[in-house]
Structure 1
């Protein structure tokens, strides 16, 4: 993240979970494929915990939710799959005072 970006709230856990589930169900992937990528980028939860989170039986902290969303999105990008993407707990937006001129 650069100094020209700021974090802004994007939604609550249930909203993020529903978005992840919609993106996952539209994708030609298994939980195992997404979990392997999630674990590889630092996710700390097991496969069964991830499934429990996706189906609403377990809550995840924002960091774990974001790692899981990133794992799904990264896997879809790698495979060249054009479908819905999972959202993050926070959105990165450019600051109004980032020094860029709107005139070019």
Structure 2
């Protein structure tokens, strides 16, 4: 089943909050984020790719929500960028989570009105 443009927009709107959640869990790097997204949310979000995730990480960094630390990698010798939340990022994530919880309660109340439409 191909996602409609409405579903795609809905997913896009929540993706940065999901990235912040993953980064809040622990300091992490891009490939690890992509792997976890694909393992945990691949069936819902589709499979994440570098071309989608890295621009979002850069936007979050530009907004001051995440910070980046560069460390050398023992495995391939190249540097890795590790992302962690800033204080502003933690505050923003708390606001987003609070909003999301209220939002889902509100949306669920509307969905409950039309339960008989579900297949």
Which protein is bigger by CA-based radius of gyration? 2
TM-score by structure 2 length? 0.29
Q: Which structure is higher in RCO with an 8 Å CA cutoff and minimum separation 6?
A: 1
Q: When you count helix as a share of all residues, which structure comes out higher?
A: 2
